[in-house]
Amino acid sequence: MTSQIEIQRIEKSKIASVDFNNLPFGSVYSDHMLECNFKNGAWQTPVIKPFAPISLDPSSKIFHYGQSIFEGMKAYKDTENNTLLFRPLDNWKRLNKSAERLMIPQIPEEIFMDGLKELLKVDNDWIPTNEGSSLYIRPFMFATGSGFHASPANEYKFIIATAPSGAYFAGKVKVLIEEKYARAANGGVGYAKAGGNYAAQFYPTQLAMDKGYNQVIWTDDNTHQFIEEAGAMNIFIRINDTLITSPTSDRILDGITRKSILQIAEDAGIQTEVRKISVGEVVEAAKNGNLKEMFGAGTAAVISPIAGFGYQENDYELPVLENSFASQLKKKITEIQTNKVADPYGWRVFV
């Protein structure tokens, strides 16, 4: 497959203008991107080309019916200058799961994996080596076929773009437990990484920010009594010495970081529970001192500790712990990702 990828190199790299010591998250872009078009019922030859704007017809169905999905990944460098990926096949499988739900043709493994690896070789110098930095990778697919009729498109575009990035979050995160709006519903597309899921989060999140919070804790769409996700991340809650997370469902994303945390925690002897957890249980635990930690888990931030939460006009602070589960687990995952410790799970993939 690699021999079938066309490569069009940029005339002059812009890398010299980038300050790798002060990288924002996801807003500085590498020289190249991979593009592959679906038309006439088949995926065409992938092309690695200079990162540049895309030209689309105004009638392209992405603009009208929202057939758009994406993934989030990272590439890392170890001390020997090797390039590593973390569980990339899980991203490929989840992208195709999202594609199936939104009636987008699935991308073959060889286009996804060979295209990604070749892109990383072309833009190898863009992978940061600073502590805490990485090359953020954004594979995405969307409808390019034209027509105002409400039906799936007949043409699509698959792109992988990359961005050298620093840390996603900085400082303490304070969240508001949502009581009115819902991120997703049973039978919907909450488990898919569909662009519309995230667009629908922006308004209630802004309402929370207007009240002084950083993010929203999503609750179930029916009763708003059960904790589901934290912003665009899965959520973990530690009550005493038990780490709890909600089960995946139609409404909850099957997070790759989430799965990794559960495996590492169990192997470290941390008691874990995958079950529904009510808002009432969390509030009661906060009141009686049993609530020790809450944190979000996702590719961008890996683990984002929550310093406090608001619910029904009351604020609850979480204790500051010296050796928190969040810090232990984040250290272990990032050490596996960057080849600093053994990988007993086979999660690392060398490029």
Contact 149, 57 (CB under 8 A): no
- Spell out the alpha helix ranges (H) of 79-173: 88-101, 109-122
Measured distance CA(329)–CA(241) in Å, rounded: 14
What sign results for the dihedral spanned by CA atoms 117, 118, 121, 123? negative
- Residue 2, pLDDT above cutoff 70: no
Residue type present at position 170: A
Specify the pLDDT at position 83: 98
pTM given for the model? 0.95
Measured distance CA(181)–CA(164) in Å, rounded: 34
pLDDT tens digits for range 42-92: 999 999 999 999 999 999 999 999 999 999 999 999 999 999 999 999 999
Measured distance CA(261)–CA(34) in Å, rounded: 31
Specify the pLDDT at position 131: 87
Measured distance CA(146)–CA(342) in Å, rounded: 49
Measured distance CA(112)–CA(146) in Å, rounded: 25
- Residue 261, pLDDT above cutoff 70: yes
**239-263 mean pLDDT:** 96
- Residue 244, pLDDT above cutoff 80: yes
Specify the pLDDT at position 247: 96
| DSSP designation for 123 | T
Closest CA to 200 of 218, 227, 224, 222: 218
DSSP secondary structure string, 280-331?
HHHHHHHHHT-EEEEEEEETTTEEEEEEEEEETTEEEEPP--TT-HHHHHHH
pLDDT tens digits for range 90-136: 999 999 999 999 999 999 999 999 999 999 999 999 999 998 899 99
3 state SS of 34: strand
Residue 3: pLDDT band (50, 70, 90) is low
**262-270 mean pLDDT:** 97
Specify the pLDDT at position 167: 79
Residue type present at position 336: I
Strand pairing category for 215-219 and 348-350 = unpaired
Specify the pLDDT at position 217: 98
DSSP secondary structure string, 223-254?
TS-BEEEETTEEEEEEETTEEEEPPP-SSS--
Specify the pLDDT at position 139: 98
pLDDT tens digits for range 293-325: 999 999 998 999 999 999 999 999 999 999 999
What is the residue-averaged pLDDT of the chain?
96
Specify the pLDDT at position 1: 60
pLDDT tens digits for range 157-207: 999 999 999 877 667 799 999 999 999 999 999 999 999 999 999 999 999
> Degrees (nearest 5) of the Cα angle 44, 47, 53?
110
Residue 234 Cα distances to 6, 153, 231, 244, 351, angstroms:
37, 31, 8, 11, 28
Specify the pLDDT at position 272: 98
How far does the chain reach from its first CA to its final CA, in angstroms?
15
Closest CA to 263 of 176, 173, 171, 343: 343
Specify the pLDDT at position 132: 87
Q: Output the six-digit token pair for 221.
A: 């769409």
